[in-house]
C-alpha cells in the first residue's frame, strides 16, 4: 500500500515536472506581446519628447540663425521692443522675473512645507495623516486660475492698501506661487521623512537625545535629499506657471527695484504676446526662443532631480 502511494506521488511529481518543462506556446506569445507593447509605449514617449524638443528648438533658434539676433544681446539686454525701429529683443527682464518669483516662492513654501511634513510624521502623526494630509493634497486639484483670481481679488488690494503701491508685484506673485507649490513640497517631504528607518530614531532616543534633537539631527539629516527633491519639484512647477502669476505680477518689462514692483516672467510674456504675432516673423521667433529657454530650464530641473535621487539612493 505504501509503495503504491509513493508510486502515485512520484508519477504526479513527474507529470508536474514535464508540464513545467514543456514548451508553452501560449505563454511565450503572451510574454512577447506584453514586451512588444511595453517597448512601443516607451518608444512612443521618446519620440514625442524628441519631437517636441526638435520643434521648439527649430523655432527658437531661428531668432539667431535666420533673423540674425545676437545670443548675448538676447539674453542680456533689458529692452524689449520687437515692433520698434530698430527692433529690440532683450529678454533679461523676463528671465530675471522668472527666477525671482520662483526663488521667492521657494523661500516661503519650503520651510512651511517641510515643517508641515515634520508635524504630520513626527509630532502629531494621527491628526496629520487623517486630517491634515488629505486637506493639503486637496490643494493640488485646485486650478491655477482659481489661485490667480484669489490673489487678484484679495492679495493685490491688500498690498495696495498696506504699502500704497500698485499692488501687482513680485511679492504678490511669490505668495500665490508659494501657496500653489506648498502641497507638492509637503507631500514629497512627508514621503521622504516617513522613509527614514525607525531604528535611527530609537537609537538616537536611546543615547539620550530629545525628540527635537532626534528630528533635527537624525531624521532631517537622513531625509535631506528627499526634502531637497521636494523643493526642486516645487520650483520646477513655479518656474513654468503662467496664468496664476500673470494675473498678479503686473506684466511690465522693467527691472524690479523691490518686492513691491511689478515684473514679468517668461511664461507671462509668451502667453500675452504669442496670439498677437504672425508665424515666421522675428517677433514670433523671439517668443519661441523664450519657450526654448523654458524648455532648457525644465531639463536643468530634471537633471537636478536625477542627481538628488541618485544621491539619496547611494546613501
- Encode pLDDT of 30-89 as tens digits: 788 888 999 999 999 999 999 999 999 999 999 999 888 889 989 999 998 888 888 889
Q: Is residue 294, in this structure, part of any structural domain at all?
A: yes
Q: Is residue 218, in this structure, part of any structural domain at all?
A: yes
CB atoms closer than 10 angstroms to residue 206: 8
Phi and psi at residue 128, to the nearest 5°: -65, -45
- The single residue listed with the C-alpha cell 495696495 is 160
Mean pLDDT of 183-202: 91
The range of the structural domain enclosing residue 138 comes to: 74-314
Residues 6+ apart with CB under 8 A from 139: 179, 182, 183
Residue 126's pLDDT band (cuts 50, 70, 90): confident
Residue 276's CATH number: 1.10.3720.10
Residue 20's pLDDT band (cuts 50, 70, 90): low
Average pLDDT across the chain, whole number? 86
Residue 3's pLDDT band (cuts 50, 70, 90): very low
CB atoms closer than 10 angstroms to residue 199: 8
Q: How far is CA 145 from CA 111, 151, 212, 246, in A?
A: 25, 10, 39, 10
Domains contained in the chain, number: 1
Q: Pick 147 or 7 by higher pLDDT.
A: 147
Q: Is residue 217, in this structure, part of any structural domain at all?
A: yes
CA proximity to 73, closest of 57, 61, 89 = 89
Cis peptide before 4 (omega within 30 of 0): no
pLDDT of residue 11: 64
Structure-block grid coordinates of residue 191:
514621503
The sign of the torsion formed by the CA atoms of 72, 76, 77, 83 equals: positive
Q: Are 169 and 262 in contact (CB under 8 A)?
A: yes
In the three-class reduction of DSSP (H, G, I as helix; E, B as strand; rest coil), residue 263 is classed as: strand
- The single residue listed with the C-alpha cell 523671439 is 286
The C-alpha atoms of residue 289 and residue 273 are separated, in whole angstroms, by: 13
Q: Are 117 and 183 in contact (CB under 8 A)?
A: no
Long-range contacts of 23-31 (CB under 8 A, 24+ apart): none
The C-alpha atoms of residue 182 and residue 176 are separated, in whole angstroms, by: 10
The region, left, alpha or beta by phi > 0 then psi within -120 to 50, assigned to residue 167 is left
Q: Is residue 159, in this structure, part of any structural domain at all?
A: yes
pLDDT of residue 19: 57
Q: Is residue 24, in this structure, part of any structural domain at all?
A: no
Residue 241's pLDDT band (cuts 50, 70, 90): confident
Q: Is residue 263, in this structure, part of any structural domain at all?
A: yes
In the three-class reduction of DSSP (H, G, I as helix; E, B as strand; rest coil), residue 185 is classed as: helix
- Whole-model pTM? 0.84
Q: Is residue 22, in this structure, part of any structural domain at all?
A: no
Q: How far is CA 275 from CA 207, 242, 246, 247, in A?
A: 65, 15, 15, 17
The C-alpha atoms of residue 258 and residue 100 are separated, in whole angstroms, by: 11
Expressed in percent and rounded to 5, the helix, strand and coil fractions of the chain are: 80, 0, 20
Lowest average pLDDT, out of 2-6, 141-145, 267-271, 293-297, goes to 2-6
Q: What is the CA radius of gyration of the chain?
A: 28
Q: Is residue 119, in this structure, part of any structural domain at all?
A: yes
pLDDT of residue 5: 47
- Whether residue 248 is predicted with pLDDT greater than 50 in this model: the reply is yes
Amino acid at each position: 500500500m505504501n509503495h503504491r502511494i509513493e508510486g502515485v506521488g512520484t508519477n504526479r511529481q513527474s507529470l508536474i515536472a514535464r508540464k513545467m518543462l514543456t514548451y508553452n506556446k501560449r505563454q511565450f506569445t503572451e510574454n512577447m506581446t506584453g514586451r512588444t507593447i511595453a517597448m512601443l509605449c516607451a518608444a512612443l514617449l521618446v519620440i514625442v519628447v524628441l519631437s517636441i524638443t526638435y520643434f521648439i528648438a527649430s523655432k527658437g533658434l531661428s531668432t539667431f540663425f535666420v533673423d540674425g539676433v545676437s545670443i548675448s544681446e538676447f539674453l542680456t539686454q533689458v529692452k524689449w521692443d520687437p515692433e520698434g525701429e530698430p527692433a529690440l529683443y532683450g529678454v533679461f527682464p523676463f528671465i530675471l522675473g522668472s527666477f525671482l518669483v520662483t526663488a521667492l516662492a521657494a523661500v516661503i513654501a519650503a520651510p512651511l512645507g517641510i515643517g508641515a511634513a515634520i508635524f504630520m510624521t513626527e509630532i502629531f502623526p494621527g491628526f496629520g495623516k487623517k486630517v491634515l494630509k488629505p486637506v493639503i493634497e486637496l490643494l493640488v486639484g485646485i486650478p491655477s486660475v482659481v489661485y490667480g483670481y484669489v490673489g487678484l481679488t484679495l492679495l493685490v488690494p491688500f498690498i495696495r492698501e498696506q504699502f500704497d503701491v500698485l499692488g501687482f508685484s513680485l511679492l504678490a506673485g511669490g505668495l500665490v506661487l508659494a501657496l500653489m507649490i506648498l502641497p507638492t513640497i509637503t507631500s514629497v517631504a512627508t514621503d521622504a521623512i516617513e522613509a527614514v528607518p525607525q531604528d535611527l530614531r530609537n537609537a538616537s532616543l536611546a543615547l539620550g537625545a530629545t525628540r527635537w534633537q532626534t528630528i533635527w539631527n537624525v531624521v532631517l539629516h537622513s531625509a535631506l535629499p528627499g526634502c531637497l527633491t521636494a523643493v526642486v519639484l516645487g520650483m520646477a512647477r513655479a518656474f513654468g506657471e503662467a496664468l496664476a502669476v500673470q494675473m498678479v505680477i503686473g506684466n511690465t518689462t522693467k527691472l524690479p527695484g523691490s518686492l513691491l514692483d511689478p515684473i514679468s516672467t517668461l511664461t507671462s510674456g509668451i502667453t500675452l504676446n504669442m496670439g498677437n504675432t504672425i508665424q515666421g516673423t522675428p517677433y514670433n521667433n523671439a517668443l519661441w526662443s523664450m519657450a526654448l529657454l523654458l524648455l532648457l530650464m525644465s531639463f536643468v530641473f530634471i537633471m537636478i532631480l536625477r542627481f538628488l535621487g541618485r544621491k539619496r539612493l547611494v546613501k
